[in-house]
Structure 1
Amino acid sequence: MSARRTLLVPAALVGVLLAVSGCGPDDPSGPGPAQAATGTPAVATPTGAPASSPTSAPTAAPGTAAPKTTTPTVPTTPAADAPPTGAAAAPAGGGADDSYAYTHPCDTKDLTIRVTARPEAPSQRVIEVRNQGARSCGLSYFPLVSVGDSHAADRSKDLRPLVPGGLGGPPAYPVGAGRTAFAVIDLNPGGGSAATAAGVDELNVVADGDHMPTGETRNFPLGPGAKVRAPKLGLYRATVADAVASAATADQRQ
């Protein structure tokens, strides 16, 4: 009996000591390995919390949108206008490309010439010169025109119309790319019924008498019944109406 009691007493004392200290082998609040090794309480880090560093950017408060980073918008400057290419440039007379036209005569290959009658004025013919080139170009003040016999070998006897005077020297008439210059010749401005000179049946036109040779002459038939007497030719103009008005002022030989 005495031997059993001796063994039970120490066991009971150990239970009492453990109960008093509140610590046991299964107590979660007991000292962890770090505390047991150093004697300093360990600080726990919440699971899932981001680690902080001195260079970390501030985070937005919960429930607020994160600040956006914006890049300043630099206004753009439109490119300077390029010279027109194959499109209509400034209209003839007063256009932005006129200074170029004054120093660049038209090339025959860039021009188309057409002659049409005016139903409201049977004695008048409209000469249309269209610039098909990519830039404006310069024409003389009026086309070089004569009226004669299409079958004659000698054209020195062709009739030349009166033209407006007091024009001065070049520069002359600019015509924009894709634009048309109009000139009007009145074959019989007086309206007389006098017979036309024998064989006169053709209108001869050189678009620019100042720069183009006579070899560039274009020939257009006058048509039956045309009467020619003291013809008058006006200056190149942007409209037929203005060209008609100009022809009425012709008072000197071409």
Structure 2
Amino acid sequence: MSARRTLLVPAALVGVLLAVSGCGPDDPSGPAPVQAATGTPATGPTGGPATAPTATPTGVATAAPKTAAPTAPTADTPPTAPGGGGSDDSYAYTHPCDAKDLTMRVTTRSEASSQRVIEVHNQGARSCGLSYFPLVSVGDSHAADRGKDIRPLVPGGLGGPPAYPVGAGRTAFAVIDLDPGGGSAATAAGVDELNVVADGDHMPTAETRNFPLGPGAKVRAPRLGLYRATVADAVASAATADQRQ
């Protein structure tokens, strides 16, 4: 009798242990074996090596690819502005040109003998503003009274900024066609000179420059265009003149 009790006690203990663990010896849902201290990989439920999430090494930062920064203009290459080609039109609109900063010359176009090109060059250090077109008249260089001088037609419908901007070191061009119709009528007696004020809005008549027309020049209903950055554009502007200056 005593021998039987001795055998039953270990069996009871085994039952208790199995109840506490919640699984039998063949239950696949049991915990995986703990990894050995020697670094041997632990095995998963299927017997293969267990995998861990990949981590970024300590101290290594990630960054987006670098993009090249835009190249800034150098001091030797000022930006180009419209109008007269100056680098600061806004300054020119509020700062009329000073006569001492301007040089002027008049030449005959080889393509059209009746046309004269008026070139106004800004030799100052800054942009400056001119009127829409020069103040021009044609007359007798020997006359004491210039009230009979002929004034050309000019383009109408002007608007926008109050001046034509011309950059430092740049040239503004205006063209006058002395005889746009090309007729055969005789020119008024004594008409031999072109008189030009670069900026009729701000300069006094004392700043008038006189240029001889040359022999054989004919003057009939002359037309004057606006200041432009090229001679070709100035010629086109003169063709639109339809109002008295």
- The bucket for the TM-score relative to the shorter chain is 0.5 to 0.7
Look up the equivalent residue of 1:148 and give its one-letter code: G
Aligned counterpart, 2:41: none
**Who is 1:249 aligned against?**
240
Residue of structure 2 equivalent to 1:144:
135
**Structure 2 residue aligned with 1:183:** 174
Q: CA shift at 1:172, angstroms?
A: 1.8
Structure 1: give runs of 5+ residues left out of the alignment.
1-77
Deviations 1:11-68 (A, max 9, x none): xxxxxxxxxxxxxxxxxxxxxxxxxxxxxxxxxxxxxxxxxxxxxxxxxxxxxxxxxx
CA distance, structure 1, for counterparts of residue 80 and residue 100 of structure 2: 18
> Within 5 Å, which residues of 2 pair with 1:125-164?
125-164=116-155
Structure 2 gaps, min length 5? 1-71
Distance in 2 separating the partners of 1:177 and 1:91: 13
2:108 is aligned to: 117
Cα contact 1:131–1:180 (8 A) shared by 2: yes
SS of 1:126's equivalent in the other structure is strand
1:194 to 174, 181, 185: 185
| Residues 1:198 and 1:82: Cα distance change in structure 2 (over 3 Å) | same
The answer to whether the Cα contact below 8 Å between 1:147 and 1:201 also exists between their aligned partners in 2 is yes
Q: What residue identity is the alignment partner of 2:144? A: A
Match of 2:164 among 173, 185, 189: 173
Letter in 1 for 2:158: L
Deviation, structure 1 residue 100: 0.4
Separation of aligned partners in 2, 1:171 and 1:81: 29
What is the distance in 1 between the residues matched to 2:73 and 2:159? 39
Percent of aligned pairs with the same amino acid:
88
Give 1:91 deviation, angstroms. Answer: 6.3
Length-normalised TM-score, structure 1: 0.65
Offset from partner CA, 1:160-205 (integer Å, 9 cap, x none): 0000000036422000000000000000000101110000000000
Match of 2:231 in 1: 240
The structure 1 segments of at least 4 consecutive aligned residues displaced by more than 6 Å after TM superposition are: none
Name the larger-Rg structure. 1
CA 1:205–1:92: 2 relative to 1, 3 Å:
same
Distance 1:223 1:121 in 2: 14
| CA displacement, residues 212-232 of structure 1 (integer Å, 9 cap, x when unaligned) | 000100000000000000000
**Separation of aligned partners in 1, 2:212 and 2:80:** 32
In 2, the alpha carbon distance for the partners of 1:213 and 1:170 equals 21
Partners of 1:216 and 1:240 lie apart in 2 by 24
Distance 1:170 1:157 in 2: 32
CA displacement 1:90-141 (0-9 Å, x = unmatched): 5644644000000000000000000000111000000000000000000000
Matched residue of 1:241: which SS? helix
Distance in 2, matches of 1:131 and 1:99, equals 16
Q: Does the CA-based 8 Å contact 1:102-1:137 persist in structure 2?
A: yes
Q: How many residues align?
A: 176
Encode CA deviations 1:139-172: one digit per residue, 9 max, x unaligned: 0000000000000000011000000000036422
Q: Equivalent of 2:217, from 218, 226, 240? A: 226
